[in-house]
Amino acid sequence: MAIVRSGATSADALVETTRLAQRADQLGYERFWVAEHHNMATVASTSPPVLMAHLAANTERIRVGSGGVMLPNHAPFVVAEQFALLEALYPNRVDLGIGRAPGTDGYTARALRRGADGSEEQDFPRHVIDVLGLLGDERSDRGLHKQLRATPVAATYPMVALLGSSGFSAQLAGVLGLPFGFAHHFDMGGTRQAADIYHEYFEPSAALAEPHLIVTAVVMAADSEDEANHLLAPHRLRKYAMRQGQRFEVVSPEDAKLHPSWPAAEQASFNAIAGTGEEVAEGLAKLGAEMQATELMVTAPTWSLDDRLSTLEQVMAAWAA
């Protein structure tokens, strides 16, 4: 999410995100995704395609993607053109993760969208099919692809995946034969149900012959489980605040534990995988097996960039072993 930590600027957050992507590239991670959020002082990633272009230019081989583009905020033709251009620039390195939520509050969503009646979310399946068709994956005899084609016309195609935290996108991804990413890191429950729905409804397509389920997880690796949980205190506090309709700064672990809301935040539901690199890798393997996941995606949300980099390093080393 290109988090703007306390004492830093949005520019600092984008530099740190670039360093994370570069280290993930060096370590052998498969892909690096960036989110779309709006009107939030603590988040610098408002435009995934713009940030993706920067990250792809500053890495060597890792795939870069949107986690995700919130399609109701954008015209399908605009999204298709943006990703056609990215794919032409960086062939076989571009992922288009598509989400249905606004990525912001209701007032900001209305300012972003073309209508205020919620029709963009109602039309989400049709808009997904339009994006696919514009990129060359035609699923219908009708739609924008009959009159338009996203240009530049790349020789390859971005991977298109649907993202979600409920069964709606899981079912749609299955019916369309697309990869599906479930936001387990939201800690809202429903991971098993969404995974089952996706596998139940999956139909092979020209894009995908077998189900491809991505499950996300918050992770933190350190010398001990206690130290890892200490580093997660800022994220824990921030998640608690979001559930209360508040937005807190991303502060240091020490300052997070001094916050008046910390006792309540410490008791709230929390599904992060924390411990040594080996313990995190074991936890991830267990999560993947339980959900029949094809792929696991991790985020290490804490105040210090060094701790985020160290987590990527420790988890990859343990996973490879």
pLDDT tens track for 240-292: 998 888 888 899 999 999 999 999 999 998 999 999 999 999 999 999 999 99
Is pLDDT at 156 greater than 70 in this prediction?
yes
Distance (Å, whole) CA 265 – CA 267: 5
Listed in sequence order, the residues at least 6 apart from 271 whose beta carbon sits closer than 8 Å to its beta carbon are 184, 185, 187, 217, 218
- DSSP state, 28? T
pTM of the model: 0.93
More confident site: 29 or 73: 29
What integer pLDDT is reported at residue 39 of this predicted model? 82
Question: For the domain bounded by 1-164, which CATH number is listed?
Answer: 3.20.20.30
Q: Distance between CA atoms of 302 and 175, rounded to whole angstroms?
A: 37
Residue ranges in 2-149 assigned as alpha helix (H): 10-27, 48-57, 76-89, 106-112, 119-122, 124-134
* 36-45, 99-108, 291-300, 302-311: least confident range: 99-108
pLDDT at residue number 149: 86
pLDDT band at 122 (very low <50, low <70, confident <90, very high): confident
Mean pLDDT throughout 306-314? Answer: 98
Q: Give the percent of the chain with pLDDT over 70.
A: 94
- The amino acid at 290: E
DSSP 172: H
* Helix H or strand E encompassing 118: none
DSSP state of 72: G
Please state the rounded mean pLDDT for residues 187-193. 93
3-state secondary structure of 129: helix
Mean pLDDT over 114-133 rounds to 79
Amino acid at 229: N
Query: For position 104, what pLDDT does the model report?
Result: 60
Residue 105: both structure tokens together = 């509050």
Q: How confident is the model at residue 105 (pLDDT cuts 50, 70, 90)?
A: low
